[in-house]
Structure 1
Amino acid sequence: MRQINFMPSFFSHCYHIIIIFFSLVPKKSLGAVDPYFQACSVPKTCGDGQAIRFPFYIQDKQNYSCGYPGFNLSCNNNGHPTILISNINYTIHEIFYQNETVRVSNSAFSNPNSSCIPSINSISLPGSRFDLAPNQTNLFLFYNCNSSVHESWPSEFYPSCYGENDAVLVLSGQDPKLISNVSMECKYSVLAPVEAYGGGIAESLRNGFVLKWKASNCSICEDSGGNCGFDDIMYHFKCFCPDRPYAWSCTNTTRLEYLPGNNKRVLVIALGQGGYGGVYKGKLQDGCFVAVKVLKESKGNGEEFLNEVASISRTSHVNIVTLMGFCYEESKRALIYEFMPNGSLEKFIYKENPSNADRQLGWETLYKITVGIARGLEYLHRGCNTRILHFDIKPHNILLDENFCPKISDFGLAKICPREESVISMLGARGTAGYIAPEVICRNFGGVSHKSDVYSYGMMVLEMVGGRKNIDVSVDRVSEIYFPHWIYKRIELDEELGLQGLISKEDEEIAKKMIIVSLWCIQTDPSSRPSISKVVDMLEGSLDSLQISPKPFLSSPPRTTVDSSTATMSL
């Protein structure tokens, strides 16, 4: 097929496309401890008791991936950390990680036993990495002044470390014009900020001043149980989690830092359409194919976009689609995913679509897809000390790679919550009609939790088994309109399943196992549903060990048409 190379106006105006290449690093088995997490777990010290952690790192004691560029420290002979700012060495006295501030002083003032003022040429006020914190006092140090100045301010001169003849004039808060006139009578002057002025000039200079650093915020990563770090290859912040490598955690995309030189352009070579906007096949400069999902400009205030970036970027799993990058400029928003050549699951399971005649999947493939989706959900529900609840599990949001390995996608309705919270607070219903758990719509059925995803999963698996929507008004008999009701009776009475494509005993066992497990998943009472980890165990266990669930529904739904692909309820 000939590729059509063009760049829509959207992409020509969307310059900051960040590419996050998780594929550049080796994937590790789920549960393996990430070596970067281990390397950054134990804070180091120079000997003065201060714990050195992100964004700082001691260059001779810590892996540079545990810190941030430009925040490398050294240890001086007194056991204190020092940092180089504009070629001036500063001693670090205190690091306030919660406030993202640090108190430093010029290392020339560091001698605790000295009451004299050394001769320095510069303080070098903060540059690109630091800002001077507010409410500091500025001192003006004047060196080698002539005799007339000595006579004008005799009480303001302080002893120099190089002899009485080199006394230093120290002024604070003086008139700028007066300061200018004095500087003309002295050989050179230095502006020296101090945090507090009153305990003596030498002591004030030794105590130094406070800087606020500029680096990616670490609190979200740390709150999720990870350790902050930096990827020097792609030049952006990383959150290393204990059970997976190279995770990234940030809910505010505007806080991400990147270099313009690392931006990638996506060459769009095909057109498509999704529920939230256009979906395009794209090609990166290195030839890698990607899927580009462009959100509609009129779609709210970007909540779905921020939600998706915040949740999916925490993940790294074979059954979760990989977010490779994003674009966010004003109302223009795009998400860049790994390309899935087989598209979404819904194209392969609904037999009423004539175009699907040659796309029907075998029962063994359906079973592997079912297990893969369950493992992906298990990963989301048992993540880095947080749970990610998807709230929109359906065939349309399951993508298939070239080997029909399933990958969960579309995290626009996802919710991140602490693992210890069994029930979460939610103001309204979210999800797609036909897959929404009863408690999400009406709290009388129970609390909203990870069991709500289990319900949606069960409804989806039943559609995979039946090859049809669970509610199908096109069938001849009223008893067959609601597939879960119909198939439950078959299982309960041990009747022939009457499903398409069952050509062997193995196929029938697979189908029965998928049916029994999914019927447990769609129990009306959330407490009666298994966890997704239990679902994996049930699917991979023997059929003989499975018990038939209680009747999982209150009654059959009315004979009405429901379009589960478009009837979406969300916050």
Structure 2
Amino acid sequence: MVIIFLFQFLLLLTAKAAGFGPAIPSYQERCNPTRCKKGQPLVSYPFQLKGRQPDDCGAKGFDLSCDNKNQTVLELPTSVKLMVKRIDYVNQKIQVYDENNCVQNQVQNLNLSASPFLFMSDNYYYSRLRNFTLFNCSADGGLDDYSFNDNIPCLGGQGFYIQYVGYDYNPFADLLNCRKTIDILNVPEGILSVKDKKFYFNWSEPACGLLCEAHGQGCRPKTNSSGIECFNRAHKDQTRKLLMISGLTIASFILILGAIGLFWLYHLHQKEKQGQRKIEQFLEDYKAQKPSRYSYADIKRITNQFKEKLGQGGYGTVFKGILSNDVSVAIKVLNNFKGNGEEFINEVGSMGRIHHVNVTRLVGFCADGYNRALVYEYLPNESLEKFIFSNEGENRFLSWEKLHEIALGIAKGIEYLHQGCEQRILHFDIKPHNILLDQNFNPKISDFGLAKLCSKEQSAVSMTAARGTMGYIAPEVLSRNFGNVSYKSDVYSFGMLLLEMVGGRKNIDVNVGNVSQVYFPEWVYNRLEKGEELGIKIEDEGHSKIAKKLTIVGLWCIQWYPVDRPSMKIVVQWLEGEAENLSVPPNPFASKDEMKIKRPINRELEAISE
């Protein structure tokens, strides 16, 4: 995962350097300078070429377009369209002309006050806006030479021409041969006298010219605020160079990644071979034990090609099988490449030593190359979990007498693991899912993949990492501040299991109606301490005694410090005795400060290396 992350990070950096950018295009990519056709002005910010660039590529009022001849057109308010000859981004001016060489024909619609532009020409620079009157005069008469007027021949018909009069025209001008045509308001002084194509528009904002363009830089709007900013334009040669460097970098990295991948595969192969040798050595020493050894072909035959799946666990999948003598078995096929074979050896080594009515019997095993499987006796009623956590409407209720029998059977099984074998076996994963029920609902402890073996004289074991299932793991397994890991860790898990049997639900249930009942163990302890009923629907008084006994024993088992918990031998005695003889345990849910005062840390138990 780390290698993949590094590769993606490097790829992102090189792509960014080469100008490819992220999945969402950058401003430069979306608004790349363009033109209507070759020979036409290049269009970039603050202008925007409609139809060729997105609408947000230019500033307001700087709209350009391409006509049907692919000529560049400037659009001005209102409905004024002029052809663009050249754009000077440094001096911030655009040279325009009328296609018919008669810009005065559009002057009536011109409204520069609504645009960012000012009129410029060779004779007029930043000209003021004025009002004018146009007259249509005959060719043989009209305004004299002192009336500050110019002829506009392109507006007249045959035999006539147009003259205009400004607001300061000569009042003695001869207008007898003229006819007033139109008043034109707020147009630049000088635009009516334009007789060639040499006139310009100038803009002051955005001020990209001196700030950016004069220094050879591009200009663009700021992303998260108003205003503009400059950026460096990458030269084509620089871009090609960056692309070449990026390609070589990625290729080199792929080669390195390939080499690392091959090495990693080799490492996995060697690790698996080492695990296989470890298993073979263990099985060689294990020949004298009873469980039979099967080939992988036998496993496929017994399970009818893995036809009936019973369940799925963290370490493998369980299938139903039939032996040659028509005996049903449950076969757990372990995941390939899972650890170094430790779980397999734990399970076979532990269960091969166990012969107890409350522990699942190991019938055989398979260690055929990389294929590993465990063959158990088949238990038709599956796990205890499906009965104590059954959904509403499912008829899976167990009587309180049967729950008591199951609890006592589990306790006897764990007590046997701790004291009845040649070596003490610590299960480390006691939970309802790992308690299987036979046809008579007798409990059997299963799944020894996390188990550890130690001498009976050893009071504690050390662990390199926490093992078990959250909700059932003892506090000392997660933090040595509560004590050393020992057989008392299984006692804690058993206590949590007992409380779930009493409550008929997970100990932590956020779906309950009352917030105070979310954590069931603390809620039920508070009721016991106050002398109240358990708050569980029980009609028979005898059943109430059973529930109270299971609850008190469970609360003793989940004390935070291992030395405060009873051994499983004492737990069996309590479960076989009367509820009246049991006292309510100390509060296991006291604050941390209270626990520190009450109990010293890491006492009495000596850690032993794993």
397, 401, 405: which one aligns with 1:364: 401
Alignment RMSD (CA, Å) = 2.8
Q: Distance in 2 between matches of 1:257 and 1:485?
A: 48
Q: 2:466: which partner in 1? A: 429
Amino acid at match of 2:529: E
Matches within 5 A, 1:296-375: 296-351=335-390, 353-354=391-392, 357-375=394-412
Deviations 1:369-397 (A, max 9, x none): 00000000010001333100000000000
1:544 alignment partner in structure 2: 580
Q: 1:286 to 1:506 in 2, by over 3 A?
A: same
Residue aligned with 1:320, SS: coil
Relative distance call for 1:479 and 1:388 in structure 2 (3 A) is same
Distance 1:458 1:413 in 2: 19
Partner of 2:236: none
Looking at secondary structure, tell me which structure has more helix per residue: 2
Residue 301 of structure 1 and its aligned partner are, at CA, apart by: 2.5
CA shift in 2, pair 1:262/1:331, >3 Å: closer
Aligned to 1:512: 548
Q: Contact 1:237–1:257 at 8 Å: present in 2 too?
A: no
- State the distance in 1 between where 2:348 and 2:284 align: 17
* Conserved? CA contact 2:361–2:377, under 8 Å: yes
Using a 3 Å threshold, how does the CA distance of structure 1 residues 301 and 260 change in structure 2: closer, same or farther?
Answer: closer
| Corresponding residue number in structure 2 for 1:453 | 490
The whole-number CA distance in structure 2 between the counterparts of 1:219 and 1:272 is 31
- Quick one: distance in 2 between partners of 1:336 and 1:262? 11
Opposite residue 409 of structure 1, the aligned amino acid is S
Alignment of 1:356-395 (within 5 A): 357-395=394-432
Distance 1:264 1:279, change over 3 A: closer
Q: Which residue of 1 aligns with 2:206?
A: none
The aligned counterpart of 1:407 is 444
Q: Which residue of 2 aligns with 1:480?
A: 517
The 3-state SS of whatever aligns with 2:310 is: coil
CA separation of 1:378/1:465 partners in 2, compared to 1, >3 Å: closer, same or farther?
Answer: same
Q: Would you identify which runs of 4 or more consecutive aligned residues in structure 1 move more than 4 Å?
A: 215-221, 256-265
Superposed displacement of residue 217, structure 1: 9.0
Per the alignment, residue 523 of structure 1 pairs with 559
3-state DSSP of counterpart to 2:571: helix
Alignment pair present for 1:279 and 2:330: no
In structure 2, stretches of 5+ residues that fail to align are 1-279, 593-609
Moved more, 370-379 or 357-366: 357-366
**For residue 207 of structure 1, what is the aligned residue in structure 2?**
none
Q: Could you tell me how far apart the structure 2 residues matched to 1:472 and 1:257 are?
A: 43
Deviation at 1:431, TM superposition (A): 0.4
CA distance in 1 between partners of 2:502 and 2:458 (Å): 33
**Cα distance in 1, alignment partners of residues 296 and 567 from structure 2:** 45
Cα distance in 2 for partners of 1:271, 1:555 equals 46
Of structures 1 and 2, the one scoring higher in RCO (CA 8 A, sep 6+) is 1
Provide the residue aligned with 2:261 in structure 1: none
**Match for residue 288 of structure 2 among 229, 234, 237:** 237
Shift in alpha-carbon separation, 1:260–1:397, aligned structure 2, 3 A: closer
Where structure 1 has 5 or more consecutive residues not aligned to the other structure, the ranges are 1-214, 222-235, 239-245, 249-255, 557-570
* 1:554 CA displacement: 4.0
Q: In structure 2, the residue corresponding to 1:413 is in which secondary structure?
A: coil
Contact 1:454 1:529 in 2 (8 A): yes
Give the Cα separation in 1 of the matches to 2:321 and 2:414.
28
- Deviation sequence 1:13-72 (CA, Å, 0-9, x none): xxxxxxxxxxxxxxxxxxxxxxxxxxxxxxxxxxxxxxxxxxxxxxxxxxxxxxxxxxxx
Q: Cα offset for 1:313?
A: 1.1
Partner residue, 1:491 = 528
Q: Match of 1:149?
A: none
Deviation at 1:499, TM superposition (A): 1.3
In structure 1, distance between residues paired with 2:333 and 2:300: 16
Call closer, same or farther: CA 1:344–1:259 in 2, change over 3 Å: closer
Q: Aligned partners of 1:261, 1:450: CA distance in 2, in Å? A: 39
- Cα 1:219/1:503, change in 2 over 3 Å: same
- What are the superposed Cα offsets for residues 126-184 of structure 1, whole Å, 9 maximum, x if unpaired? xxxxxxxxxxxxxxxxxxxxxxxxxxxxxxxxxxxxxxxxxxxxxxxxxxxxxxxxxxx
- Mean Cα displacement is larger for which, 399-408 or 293-302? 293-302
Evaluate the alpha carbon distance shift between residue 218 and residue 549 of structure 1 in structure 2; reply closer, same or farther with a 3 A threshold: same
Of all paired residues, the percent bearing the same amino acid is: 55
Q: 1:320 Cα deviation (Å)?
A: 0.2
Cα gap change, 1:219/1:447 in structure 2, threshold over 3 Å: closer, same or farther?
farther
Q: Measured at CA, do residues 496 and 273 of structure 1 come closer, stay the same or move farther in structure 2, by a change above 3 Å?
A: same
Secondary structure at 1:272 match in 2: strand
Structure 2 CA distance for partners of 1:286 and 1:523, relative to 1, 3 Å:
same
How far apart are the structure 1 equivalents of 2:297 and 2:322? Answer: 19
Task: Kindly provide the CA deviation profile for residues 241-288 of structure 1, in whole angstroms up to 9, marking residues without a partner as x.
Answer: xxxxx7x7xxxxxxx989999999514351233212221111011100
Contact 2:293 2:365 in 1 (8 A): no
2:435 is matched with which residue? 398
> How many aligned positions are there?
311
Does the 8 Å contact 1:282/1:292 carry over to 2? yes
TM-score scaled by length of structure 2 = 0.48
How far apart, in 1, do the equivalents of 2:351 and 2:387 lie?
25
Contact residue 343 and residue 400 of structure 1 kept, 8 A? yes
Distance in structure 1 (CA, Å) of the matches to 2:510 and 2:322: 42
How far apart are the structure 2 equivalents of 1:386 and 1:304?
18
Residue number in structure 2 paired with 1:535: 571
Task: Work out which of the two has the higher radius of gyration on C-alpha atoms and give 1 or 2.
Answer: 2
For residue 216 of structure 1, report the CA deviation from its aligned partner. Answer: 9.8
Kept after mapping to 1: 8 A contact 2:295/2:366: no
